[in-house]
Amino acid sequence: MKTGLTATAIAVVIIAAFAFGFYQGQLLAVQQEVNYPHMVNFVVTRDGEVVYNYTTHNILTTIGARLARNVFGFANETATQVKYVALSPDTSPDKSWTKLPNEYTTGGLERKAGTPSIVNETAFQVVASWTSSTTTTIKCTALHWSGTGGSDNNMWAVATIPDASVISGDNVQVTWTVNTPDG
């Protein structure tokens, strides 16, 4: 009888410890929210239906960070607007990039001015849309402060996406959200 009672007590303690640990893990998970300051959403629509929708964070390039430094006073730059979006088949972008090595300059997928808007007190968005006139696979997008396609030394940020296959007539929309969090 005593052995059965001891075994039951041990089982209750183990179950309680497991339940308590699980509950603490859930609390910890809620407190560790991942929040990237810069996000990119990439959508491809074909015949009115979304066939590709992917959201990811991006890489702020070194020259993009330098531009921010200069705008905030170091070089007194004030007239630079980051609103031009480019697409490419490039993979594995790096913060040292100053342009997309293989930026699309034809096929209806050329660099274009997006529509900038304020999201909140610390963030803005740039939305750009294209209609493809070619068949290709897009793997990368970048945000620039120059509207000249293929130009160098003006890439603010870059993001890679899983292969987005487009055909002629597909609509592509890229939304860049740039946030400078306070605090």
Model pTM score? 0.76
Question: For residue 7, how many C-alpha atoms fall within 13 Å in the half-sphere facing its CB?
Answer: 4
Residue 36 corresponds to which amino acid?
Answer: Y
pLDDT at site 65: 83
| Residue with more model confidence, 19 or 65 | 65
pLDDT at 32 over 50: no
- Looking at residue 11, its pLDDT comes to 57
Average pLDDT over residues 77-95: 88
Among 91, 55, 106, smallest CA distance to 163 is for: 91
Check residues 74 and 18 and name the one with the higher pLDDT: 74
What is the overall mean pLDDT for the chain? Answer: 83
- Closest by CA to 160, choosing from 176, 137, 138, is 138
pLDDT at 34: 39
Higher pLDDT, 176 or 19: 176
Question: Residue 162 above 80 pLDDT?
Answer: yes
| pLDDT more than 90, % of the chain | 56
Tell me the C-alpha distance between 152 and 166, whole Å: 26
Q: Which of 106, 104, 92, 77 is nearest to 158 (CA)?
A: 92
| Range of lowest pLDDT (92-101, 104-113, 118-127, 156-165) | 118-127
